[in-house]
């Protein structure tokens, strides 16, 4: 009886940092999250194919600035559940809403990096700003990546088909080349990003759901233009002008144009993974924005 009770208590302790957002067959779909500090909440939404651990250089700075920091792993990534479905942005926004409501976060700032910028845009378009005071897009996927007659600034669809094929053929090998471009290793390797950081990123990415890793590629082609033009809260856009994953001209520049009154910080020479390589510039801009009164 004692052993059984101890086992139940241990299970409770192990699962207290998870929010259940659904079920697939016999498995729960759980989101892993971490919740630190006090003050106005900042919700960090990571990029593909990493996890909330990618915010390592932001969390201490935000805590020192007096903020409560909530970081969670997207379904399929990090320590969250690995379902075979739900990688579309409507569902991902619903997942974010579950985090916001279960933790009863209010007056929050949503910070989305890369793919996480899509969650920020779709959440605001879907749920509004009742719980949100500010929004931040860092190297974000918005507003619309796919080139089309009404979106000539987008990227050719063959690019995304090539990514799908590379993941199908050898996902873990693809991750090596992807992360090289993510950090502009040819320029910053051994300087602004160590071999160990690149290896850690690869380990996190390789540990993600193979299904989720692939399914997210389709979600990148989501059109966020209507979500962005509806935003009426203070918004900051941060982007590197040497981003080889999501080129500034196709993403950050256009996101800034779409959100009326938004502020833009262009980090000179910064790659996609600027939240690591240029953490000081990112943190300074982010914290200054958070501390401004409305």
Active-site residue set: 114, 243, 272
Mode of pairing for the β-strands spanning 18-24 and 27-36 = antiparallel
- 258 SS3 class: helix
DSSP state of 73: P
Could you give the CA distance from residue 78 to residue 81 in angstroms, rounded to a whole number?
A: 8
Distance CA 245, CA 175 (A): 13
CA-to-CA distance for 291 and 271, rounded, in angstroms?
26
CA-to-CA separations, 74 to 50, 78, 98, 133, 244, in angstroms, rounded: 9, 7, 12, 22, 23
Beta bridge partners of 24: 27
- Pick the closest to residue 277 from 215, 173, 185 (CA basis): 185
């Amino acid at each position: 009886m004692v052993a059984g009770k101890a086992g139940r208590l241990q299970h409770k302790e192990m699962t207290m940092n998870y929010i259940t957002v659904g079920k697939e067959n016999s498995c729960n779909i759980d989101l892993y999250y971490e919740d630190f500090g006090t003050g106005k909440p900042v919700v960090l939404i990571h990029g593909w194919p990493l996890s909330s651990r990618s915010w390592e250089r932001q969390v201490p700075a935000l805590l020192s600035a007096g903020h409560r920091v909530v970081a969670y792993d997207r379904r399929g990534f990090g320590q969250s559940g690995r379902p075979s479905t739900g990688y579309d942005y409507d569902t991902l926004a619903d997942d974010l809403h579950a985090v916001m409501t279960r933790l009863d976060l209010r007056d929050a700032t949503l910070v989305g990096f890369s793919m996480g910028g899509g969650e920020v845009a779709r959440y605001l378009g879907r749920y509004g700003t009742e719980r949100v005071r500010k929004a931040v897009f860092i190297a974000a996927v918005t507003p619309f990546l796919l080139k089309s007659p009404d979106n000539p600034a987008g990227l050719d669809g063959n690019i995304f088909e090539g990514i799908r094929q590379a993941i199908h053929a050898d996902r873990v090998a693809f991750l090596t080349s992807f992360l090289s471009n993510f950090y502009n290793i040819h320029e910053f390797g051994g300087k602004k990003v160590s071999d160990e950081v690149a290896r850690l990123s690869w380990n996190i990415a390789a540990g993600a759901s193979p299904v989720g890793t692939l399914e997210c590629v389709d979600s990148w082609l989501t059109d966020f233009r209507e979500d962005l033009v509806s935003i009426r809260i203070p918004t900051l856009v941060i982007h590197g002008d040497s981003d080889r994953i999501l080129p500034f001209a196709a993403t950050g520049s256009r996101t800034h144009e779409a959100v009326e009154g938004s502020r833009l910080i262009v980090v000179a020479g910064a790659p996609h993974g600027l939240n690591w390589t240029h953490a000081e510039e990112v943190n300074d801009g982010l914290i200054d924005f958070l501390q401004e009164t409305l």
